[in-house]
Amino acid sequence: MNLLADLLANDDALLPARLPGGAQVERVASAVWQITPPTAAAGRALIVSAGIHGDETAPVEVLCGLVSALCSGALVPRVPLLLVFGNLLALRAACRYLDDDLNRLFGNATVPGSREAPRAAALAAAVDAFCTRHAKPLHLDLHSAIRDSRYACFAIAPRNESGPLGAAPRALLAACGIEAVLLTGAQAPTFSARSARRHGCEAYTFELGRVRRLGDGVAGEFAAAERVLRALIAAEPLPEPVAQLHAFRVSRELIKRSDAFRLTLPAGAANFTAFEAGALIAEDGALQWHAEPGELIVFPNPAVKPGLRAGLLVVADAASDV
């Protein structure tokens, strides 16, 4: 894929200053572009980010496909766009991150010496400038999951409110092929949570299918999300739902305290693995976590640094199901 090779070699010439159809393009940071259509927006402004984790390249290929369609005129933007290729250094190094997980650097903590910290600051500044010009854009942060999942495509929805998810967000997610949505508060140090927290955006982290190596191509599980992205960019009606959406809420976070932390799950256990009520989930020295009725685990990862989240426990939120 030439565009991807160009992005990895030299991102500054990836987009022209003006697209077919007249939209203006501004490069606001390395591999971050703001696109402004010539006429007043027909829909909500949109932030699309991918590659926040440098090893999740299928979403990067999706974003490259959108850039390619915009450059050729096959896709004409009718809403303001901010297109973000996240961890450019890690993408170039073909790894998840160099020093720190970029998607944990959008909180208040400063991480001196981390090569990811200036990138987090640059992306945050780009989003702030975009949100100053266009209030409350929709932010879709595209990832691909590290591990198997009971739901091939799922989303995390950081929100400032706690009620059930409304009909419009549910229709959006179901059209993207999202089978499960995890409703959380907006305090997490993730890119999408920052947009929700700071700017009141409807924002999602999408976990689409499995991590693939660069050039392995974009699999079918991305097709629905890609169709929705094109519809949003062109301000066209959303495609029909292609998934039945199940909603979950976070019940507890598993915070790793020490290097003694261990999960009882086998390595590689799927996201949304369920536990029997009372079953031992994890222990950290004398500390033990036992399952409450109906709890499932998402993002089990005992390898994180102490002090960070080693997994999320979630329960079904039937009020938000489609």
Q: Which is nearer to Zn ion, 53 or 159 (CB)?
A: 53
* Distance separating alpha carbons of residues 271 and 248, to the nearest angstrom: 13
Contact between 104 and Zn ion per CB under 5 A: no
In DSSP terms, 64 is beta-bridged to none
Quickly list DSSP for 173-193: HHHTT--EEEEE-S-SSSHHH
Candidates 158, 155, 153, 144; CA nearest to 189 is: 158
- What string marks each residue from 159 to 178 as x (binds Zn ion by CB under 5 A) or -? --------------------
In DSSP terms, 311 is beta-bridged to 254
Residue at 131: amino acid letter: C
Residue 69 CB, shortest distance to Zn ion, in Å, is 24
Residue 31 CB, shortest distance to Zn ion, in Å, is 17
Task: State the number of CA atoms in the 13 A half-sphere of 247 facing the CB.
Answer: 22
**Stretch touching Zn ion by CB under 5 A, among 45-53, 210-218, 270-278, 310-318:** 45-53
Q: Which is nearer to Zn ion, 41 or 250 (CB)?
A: 250
Q: How big is the chain, counted in residues? A: 322
> Which of 78, 139, 143, 194 touches Zn ion by CB under 5 A?
143
Residue 79 CB, shortest distance to Zn ion, in Å, is 25
* Distance separating alpha carbons of residues 316 and 286, to the nearest angstrom: 29
Residue 211 CB, shortest distance to Zn ion, in Å, is 8
Q: Which is nearer to Zn ion, 101 or 284 (CB)?
A: 101
Residue 50 CB, shortest distance to Zn ion, in Å, is 9
Q: What is the 3-state secondary structure (H, E, C) of 87-150?
A: CHHHHHHCCCCCCCCHHHCCCCCCCCCCCCHHHHHHHHHHHHHHHHHCCCCEEEEEEEECCCEC
User: How far is residue 98 CA from its own chain's centroid?
Assistant: 19
Residues identified as active-site: 207
Q: Which is nearer to Zn ion, 35 or 127 (CB)?
A: 127
**Stretch touching Zn ion by CB under 5 A, among 28-36, 120-128, 129-137, 142-150:** 142-150
Residue nearest to Zn ion (CB): 143
Q: Which is nearer to Zn ion, 60 or 243 (CB)?
A: 60
Contact between 53 and Zn ion per CB under 5 A: yes
Interaction site with Zn ion (CB under 5 A): 53, 56, 143
